[in-house]
Structure 1
Amino acid sequence: MVDGLEELQRNITKLKLNNKKAAIRGVNRVSELVSDKLKSNTPYDADASDHLRDDVKTTGVTGATKGDISKDIGFGKKTGWRYHFPEFGTTKQAPQAFAQKTVNQSKSEALEIYKDELRKGNQL
């Protein structure tokens, strides 16, 4: 049984080093979750031609050889340059903080996914 966030993070690091397949499965599952939530939280302007939420991109798995398995989630080159305007606001627009909201919404579910994969990885 895991009793705290620090212990869970140590176990995730151990999982990354000892069972890369389970770690990659966990990272893939979490990246799908966060990507979907980012798409749903991204503001949408019906008058615009290119929408941020239609250009959400996820990279491939990186760092598997170093034990630092990750994926990047963000916006493509076509629309990514304007992400910071709705996220942080401008002088004429209040910040909407949709990316930060996505991170906060996904955190507990992502930890549960990692915990499940850690359990599965230790049973193999």
Structure 2
Amino acid sequence: MGVTVKGDKELIAAFERLDKTVDTKARKATRDGAKVFEQRLKTDTPRDKTGTDHSGMTPLAEHTKIGNLRGSTGNLEIPVGYDTEKGWIAHFPNSGTSKQPAQHFIEKAQAESKRPVMAKFVEDLKL
């Protein structure tokens, strides 16, 4: 699928098309990577035996959130974590307390997501 370029104007136009294509694919790859990580975070977030959190309320895993795409500096990123309703409690089971050992499920989700996220990036960024 080669493109024959005859002259400076055509070369510049070809680079501009390629730049737009790469930017679109990079944005898609970032969004898809965020979805992969969010799914792993939901899976790794602890629940009690009843499927709820310890207070009997909706489990923390149901409060994951994908933020908005940011890329003002040229680096694309999307924050993934928990919403404001329950997010503030995530650090207690993750980091532990005096009455509860640390479970490190956020770090586990990050480690387990690394390869699938990178595979999704490679898939999405193919030209």
TM-score (structure 2 length as normaliser): 0.74
Matching residue's letter, 1:98: F
Question: Could you list the runs of 5+ residues in structure 1 that have no partner in the other structure?
Answer: 1-17
Partner amino acid, structure 2, of 1:43: P
Deviation string, structure 1 residues 41-91 (Cα, Å, up to 9, x no partner):
10113342132111101111111x432111100111111111111101111
More helix by share: 1
Select the residue among 70, 77, 81 that pairs with 1:62.
Answer: 70
What RMSD, in angstroms, separates the aligned Cα atoms of the two structures?
1.3
Aligned to 2:28: 25
Identity of aligned residues (%): 25
Unaligned runs of 5+ in 2: 1-18
The answer (yes or no) to whether the contact 1:20–1:67 under 8 Å persists in 2 is no
Please name the residue that 1:51 is paired with: 59
Which stretches of structure 1, 4 residues or more, deviate above 3 A after TM superposition?
none
> Which shows bigger deviation, 102-111 or 47-56?
47-56
Deviation of residue 109 (structure 1)? 1.3
- The C-alpha deviation readout for 1:70-124, integer Å capped at 9, x for no partner, is 11001111111111111011111111111000000010111111122232xxx3x
TM (norm. structure 1) is: 0.76
